[in-house]
Amino acid sequence: MQPTLTTGAEGLEIRWSDGTVGDFPYIWLRDTDPSGFHPTTGERTFDLTVVPLDLKPCKAEVTPDDLLITWNDQDEPSRFDLNWIKVHRPGQPRHDPANITPVAWRADLGGAGVPRHDAEGLMTSDEAVMDWLRQTKRYGLSIVTGLADTTEAGIKVARRVGHLRETNFGLTFEVASKPDPNNLAYTSDALPLHTDLTNQELPPGYQFLHCLANQAEGGGSTFCDGVAVAEDLRARDPAAFEILSTVTVPFRFHDHVTDIRSRKTVITLDTRREVSEICFNAHLADILDLDPAVMTSFYRAYRRFMEMTRDPAYGIALKLRAGEMVVFDNRRVLHGREAFDPATGFRHLHGCYVDRGEWDSRLRVLERSQG
């Protein structure tokens, strides 16, 4: 049965025989007319300012497959495929293969519970890449195994996702104890749980740390899920959660050639008030310049969050072995390491970043090509 049309003052109602009802404002129908999109690029070429906001059609009708809308300033009617317009009816969120609900995890995941994926599969199979992208996004963390003993091997896997994110530490970076370090990661000190580069306008999305050697005593890795910590904080201490999601912290990194600063809340919420990002790095927090009226309550909340990240209820520990690469969402999962003794052996990780947008794009394209 053909859908029925009802023309209102501002829009058209379409009622399908299966009970689906769509409300289509006239301005939306005109702006969405398929002829207003470039045939090759798919980009919108229609200029919204050439029509009045309160435009109305002269006629609206359906054929077996299409909806036709005739406008008084245009010879050809706008033609919409009826199935297409049903799927795209206003108020209906568009299907997005990259929209993956995070699974919050705590200590019971254990080092052994971290999803593992073999490098060879990722280099040869798009299906394996899609599985890996999905699972890593769900948990915010995975380990790639079986990498060759070259710094390029990890980077090649990262490039299966997309473009690398270059930073002031380079397109890729070496994590090893170095003379005259400009970053605590380049010492043999312990690193408490943190997210990287919180001082950047956009802290990098996914981080890749390929272990080439880990023979020194110590040097184990720790991780905790920032979403789990933030959600538990919201339940236990709503006032602290509110402060950490509204008060911005100044972050700064500076060395001989850079001075990179940005302000961020520790917890970022999306429009549905779900936790979408965590930005937590005590080393990079600049001198706190908050209003004295909020300073003490900020410290109370910030310290509580910091204590929670160190609570054994959240953390998992593992020691990366040569040939393994940990991959994690740096704006969700906090990472750290134990101190190590460089006199007892060599420790060398090689890293890079790939932003979330690249990750999501690859997921969508792979779903498209694999149906």
Q: Residues in the site for ligand OGA, rule: CB under 6 A?
A: 175, 185, 191, 196, 221, 335, 337, 349
CB of 186 to ligand OGA, least distance (A): 8
CB of 322 vs ligand OGA, minimal distance in Å: 13
Interface ranges with Zn ion (CB under 5 A): 196
122 binds, among ligand OGA, Zn ion, none (CB under 5 to 8 A by kind): none
Please tell me the distance from the alpha carbon of residue 217 to that of residue 346, in angstroms, as a whole number: 9
Q: Least distance from C-beta 253 to Zn ion, angstroms?
A: 12
Residue 349 contacts which entry, Zn ion, ligand OGA, none (Cβ below 5-8 A, type-dependent): ligand OGA
Q: Cβ closer to ligand OGA: 22 or 140?
A: 140
221 binds, among ligand OGA, Zn ion, none (CB under 5 to 8 A by kind): ligand OGA
Sign of CA dihedral 177, 182, 183, 189: positive
Q: Which does 332 bind (CB under 5 to 8 A by kind): ligand OGA, Zn ion, none?
A: none
One-letter amino acid for residue 105 of the chain: W
CB of 208 to ligand OGA, least distance (A): 11
Strand intervals (E) in 47-197: 59-62, 66-70, 78-81, 116-118, 141-145, 173-175, 191-194
Spatial CA neighbour of 304 closest among 204, 220, 234, 355: 234
User: Which of 219, 224, 274 is closest to 108 using CA atoms?
Assistant: 224
Which of the choices ligand OGA, Zn ion, none does residue 29 contact, using the CB cut-off of 5 to 8 A by kind? none
CB of 176 to ligand OGA, least distance (A): 9
Closer to Zn ion by CB, 78 or 195: give it.
195
Which CB sits closer to Zn ion, 196 or 329?
196
Strands across the sheet containing 191-194 = 191-194, 333-337, 221-225, 316-318
Nearer to ligand OGA, 16 or 186 (CB): 186
Complex with Zn ion: residue 26 or 280, whichever CB lies closer: 280
Rounded least distance, CB 195 to Zn ion, Å: 7
Report the C-alpha gap between 347 and 20 in whole angstroms: 61
* Between 184 and 295, CB nearer to ligand OGA: 184
The answer to whether the beta carbons of residues 214 and 232 sit under 8 Å apart is no
Query: Taking a C-beta distance cutoff of 8 angstroms, is the pair 204, 197 a contact?
Result: yes
d(CA 276, CA 246): 14
CB of 216 to ligand OGA, least distance (A): 11
Rounded (to 5) percent helix, strand, coil in the chain: 30, 30, 40
Q: Which is nearer to Zn ion, 80 or 340 (CB)?
A: 340
